[in-house]
A and B are shown apart, each in its own frame.
Chain A
Amino acid sequence: MDLVQRHAVTRTGRLGAPAMVLGPGFGCDQDMWRHVAPAFESDHEVVRFDHVGSGQSDVSAYDPEHYDDLQAYADDIVLLSRELGLRDIVLVGHSVAAMMAVLAQRAAPDLFAALVLVGPSACYVDDLETGYVGGFDERDVEELLELLGSNYLGWSRSMAPVIMGNADRPELGQELTDSFCRTDPDVARQFARLTFTSDNRADLPHVSAPTLVLQCTDDTIAPLSAGRYVHDAIPDSTWVHLDAVGHLPHLSSPDETIAAIRSFLDARA
């Protein structure tokens, strides 16, 4: 199977330059990076992709038994990066893709020169024993899964015409409609369960690359306590608290997000 097709890879920027790989997070596809990617195309080979099962990926490649842990997604990133012959990779992971980035860097330390973790959380569920606050308890997780299920039809039926009819913002186009509407509900459900039940706290100390942790303001998915935990546990970590509110700074405040990543990269150069 052609990995480029399987992950609907978009390659822009300077081919052969140090690479930046942008991993989309929970509920998102590569289109979410559309405001950030262009800012790094002058000096990077920028690679956007979709996880198998979401966005424009080849959904037929989705095997529920294989994609039953985040390592499987992390392995995909490693394979894809090798297949594309990328070098000096800055691996950017948003939301759950931040932990995929951690796992990928742990599995292939030579491949990934730096990590940028946007709104990361190593564990979404509170851990009463250690006092860790992830922001969710088990009931919250179950309710969220229920909510995703009951709103699926809402997305596919009602949203498509709304987006399509948005004539003054043509850049949204067909892709965004598809990315939201085409995700198979069973795949979305398994991915959501995986996202919110994974615990990767033990992987963090093994990250050997310089890492930027981007923490948003009032992020209910990844609260301050979760971001701080990630920052404290990764040996060479830089902490930036964005003014951007919510969980999608790359969409809502792309300029601030770009500036933070840029100054992290400049400081390393």
Chain B
Amino acid sequence: MTAPGTFDEPLLELAPCGFATVAYDGPILQINETLLSWTGYSREEVVGLKSFADLVTRAARAYGQTHLRPMLLTAGSVREIALTMVCADGSRLPILLNARLDRDADGHPSVISIAVFDASERRQYEEELLRAKQEAEASEERSRQLARTLQSTLIPSRPPAVPGLQIAAGYRPSGDGEEVGGDFYDVFQIGPGDWVVVLGDVCGKGVDAAVITALVRYSVRAATVDHRSPAAALGVVNRILLEHGTDRFCTLVLLRLQARDGGWDVVSCSAGHPLPVVVRAGAAPEPTGTLGTLLGVLDDPPLTDDTLRLGFGDRLMLYTDGILEARRDGELFGELRLLDALDRHGRGDVAVAVDALLAATMAFQGERADDDIALVVLGPPAD
């Protein structure tokens, strides 16, 4: 005759996993020697007195009521549930649990059979995996932060204040904005009433492209100090790019602005970049200048200086090809739509113009840009 609460089969008593039977909504009916030895309870203090829920953490109890019980009632069994038992001495035992609910002849739930596996090592392994995952996530976040910091050095959040010139800039990164794009712009002063505006696009994305973007940006700053002619300055930038040995090329527009009689004399040079668009009162917006050759490819790229006068109310817009190439169902935004948008929004306040142009481009492509978009609108105050 076996003691109450034991299994008849010696195999079940000493099996290398824990067994128990539990009355539905009631106490433990049977528990095997293995599970008792793992948890440190004696059979007398458990059988008929404690429920299985009394042997697990409160969290596991809550989980059991909200998740396991409904699954047992509906599906009849649960498998490989990770829980934690609380041993007699208060220590904790991670387990995996399988359970089956049996019903009586009337279909009412009667007995739950439970098999328990010691999962201490598995749990440790999982915790290590979890830690590795958390570290990977943290590292990803650091790299995103780095990308944002880098981006902000290439795309200033707003241009500096230039006396006698309204100037506004806008930027939209491609996709979710987590990768550093190749677009950049810069506005800086050479002397009194003597300013440089540059906007460009280095091919590619990511940190490698950002290194070249930074190189171009600072080379432009250095070259424009020695060379008043934008074409000459860009010749220097071209040589620096070739000497660097990168296979990345760059397109950009460089403006040299000289204040005179309340307006500005502008010398512009485009190195393979979409031409600046000038907007004058009473006239349709039109591209201005000569399309030169991109930088970083040819030893002696053809580059041309063009001159232009910006009087009261005139506007000049520089942009990257992310605007022209904004897509909707395979159709491009294109120059015609850009000129039309400028005609309607490009004549008043420069900041309003930038916002309107960005909004028009983003709306066209469903608010998600395939490519970076950068643009600058500038001009003398209207009055």
Contact = CB atoms under 8 A, between A and B. Distances in A.
Given A147-B82, A162-B79, A172-B74, A252 B59 contact: no
B58 A246 contact: no
Nearest to B67: A27
A224 B53 CA distance: 17
Nearest to A243: B25
B69 interface: yes
B84 A221 contact: no
Interface stretch (A82-90, A98-106, A150-158): A150-158
Interface stretch (A4-12, A136-144, A229-237, A258-266): A136-144
Contacts of B77: 162
A143 B79 contact: no
B62 A220 contact: yes
Interface string B66-89: 110111011111111111100000
A144 B65 contact: no
A135 interface: yes
Given A143-B84, A162-B79, A219 B74 contact: no
Interface string B24-67: 01000000000000000000000000000100011111111111
Interface residues of B, number: 29
A220 B58 contact: yes
A145 to B, nearest CB: 8
A246 B75 CA distance: 18
Given A163-B74, A247-B65, A251-B70, A158 B82 contact: no
Contacts of A135: 58
Task: Give the dominant DSSP class at B's interface.
Answer: helix
A198 to B, nearest CB: 15
B126 interface: yes
Contacts of A172: 74-75
Contacts of B63: 144, 147-148, 151
Contact of A180 (B65, B69, B71): B71
Nearest to B63: A147
B71 A159 contact: yes
19 contacts: A135-B58, A140-B57, A143-B57, A143-B58, A143-B59, A143-B60, A144-B59, A144-B62, A146-B59, A151-B67, A154-B80, A155-B67, A159-B75, A159-B79, A162-B77, A220-B53, A221-B65, A246-B65, A252-B69
Interface of A: 25-28, 32, 95, 135-136, 140-141, 143-144, 146-148, 150-151, 154-155, 158-159, 162-163, 166, 169, 172, 176, 180, 218-221, 245-248, 251-252
Interface of B: 25, 53, 57-67, 69-71, 73-84, 126
